Structure 1
Amino acid sequence: MQIALDLLVWMLMLALSGKAADENSLSAVIRSFGSFVVLFLRSNGYLHRGGHPDRFGSGGGADFVMPVPEAYGLPGSLTDYLPDPFEPVDRWFQARNASNVRTTVRIVQDLCPGADLFVDPLAGGGSSACAARLLGVSFFGLELDPVLACVSLAKSTATARHARADPLWRVTPDQDDPVASCLDVTRRLSAGTDRPVSRADMLDDLERNAPAPTLPLVLWADATQPDVWDELHAEARHAVLYTSPPFGLSSPRPQASPELYADAVTALASAEAARAESGPAKFASYEELAADVVVNAARRLGHVTAVLEHEPADDGSDARESTVRLLLDSLGNRVKSLRILECGAYSRRGMFSLIVCEVVP
């Protein structure tokens, strides 16, 4: 402290001396003094790199400093980055931008060991649901596209019994099985891909893979709406939120026929999983969507490790800094251990990164 005071006195004397008489020199002294103050606050625990203040401020102001990206080895290759077309259950349908299930499992085990709840508020084609099955933890998924919501529900919930049952549009109302119906939607969606699956393929996968240890919950819902999160009743000690917000308008969406879309809505209604009335209407920015879902999860849960996949947008712009700013502005002192992990460039978009932070009560 004494050294800091001596340096402060020296700077003031310099500012008043002839050495700082001209305007440019005086401005330089003032800038140096400002830098010294920030350095002093950081070194004494008042201000952390990454723009997160422990004792004052909102975190997104003039003192904001972006965390320095760190090299990270997962995924460490193109094979680890792309979805595995032979992965049981996940192979039923894989979007072009889907994550590799086994890589997701390794990332979760590395960054948040001991997590007992897997949350994906942008569940898409269900790669996270498959990762939760492999991890043996509960799964909570939200998806605004009803066809993809069916896929995620099927991947997270189905057992061999469901694969043997008929969808509800082939049976009488008292025999309907909504999970079997979601399986049928998934099978028909896969028919339009270069790797279609049959009911026999699904049954084989499910007979060889244990079901989730607890009943998962997948909803057709808008994850940016806080009220849908109230349906998350799991008593989690430590949840991991792992998701991949759309990187841009060109992020692929499934091409479903009107009939398949209608059957997906029917199946979700039968499963009492419908909380929306339509699919995606417009594209929200990456940072707004990412911040909304993390904030909603933090409101409902206690300790959350958030892991957000990121790649540059269609125009090459990078949303990492704006996402970090929004998270800090929205959650303040609840955000800890903020990191940017750079994994490698595996697509035309450029660097694949993970934005990682702890959100505490």
Structure 2
Amino acid sequence: MKLPKPRKRGDAYRIEIMLDGKRHSCTRDTARECEQWAALKLLELKSGKVQEDASVKQHYPFKQLFEKYYQEHGRYKKSKTWIYGQLKNFDQKFGGLAEMSIHDITPKHLTAWRNKRSTEVSPNTVLKELSLYSSIFSYAQKELFLIHDNPWMSISKPRKPKARNRRISDDEVNILLKAFGYTEDEQPVLPQHYVAWAFLFALETAMRRGEILSIKREHVFEKYVHLPMTKNGEERNVPLTKRARELLKLIPAENNKLVPQSENAFRLMWERTKNKVGLEDIHFHDTRHEAITRLVNQQKLPVEILAKMTGHKTIKVLVNTYYNPDVDDIADMLD
């Protein structure tokens, strides 16, 4: 393999070599020293006896680390679509930090990024992104042995906002159905009809959007739907109300996948339609809050049984986050 020529960078020289798709580089005072390092590095790599030069840290851009993390781990995770979206917009989101070496990134850099990001998105989004990027650096620390410390662990996180308690009224349900051009008890035909159908099904079952979109014909039984994989990594059987069973009968028999849409297409249609009718404040996940509250108020399900249906491992999360009765509901229970 012919060695590349060193490139002058200020008062020093830098050389890069590629082997098996992996980039290695170093900076030295002279071109000759760079060539000597490259020859030794290639020898070490080819012989399988890689020994890092403790005095010189390899230039390893943050983005390059993210790309490797995605190939090795991210694309196998349930959240792979979201992770890929983060990688796709990485340069825009991080600017100069994207190409900065992970050895040079400090908590001060990350704190400045966190503060800027907090002016652009919600605290929940910042927290979610911090968790991902911290995992990427932990991967570099504990699996690649490239760094000794994770700088993301040294910055404070935004305070987690109070859990949403948004209820969905019957009037809002009717407005959304009209916006989707769907009438209850009719077979869905168009893509927007399936979004409306999934909205109604979520209100009956407390299932998440991703869970509904994953249902195949083989998962549907007489009184329940089987979910082979859920958010917490386990399978779950979701019992069906009479109304939920009626909704399932509306899906054409030839549909192997009950809702024949990708998650992204479904999300975009949901967002655009609700915004169009002035219901920007409603999130699809609010159907889970609404369904759980209805199941307690109307079906009188005890929380320990409800937790089996919704997949909550912690009753505290179910009660404090998802069960949202108003004061009138509680007064009615007392009577």
TM-score, structure 1 normalization = 0.23
Q: Which structure has the higher relative contact order (CA within 8 Å, separation 6+)? A: 1
> What TM-score, normalized by structure 2, do the two folds share?
0.24
More strand by share: 1
* Structure (1 or 2) with the greater helix fraction: 2
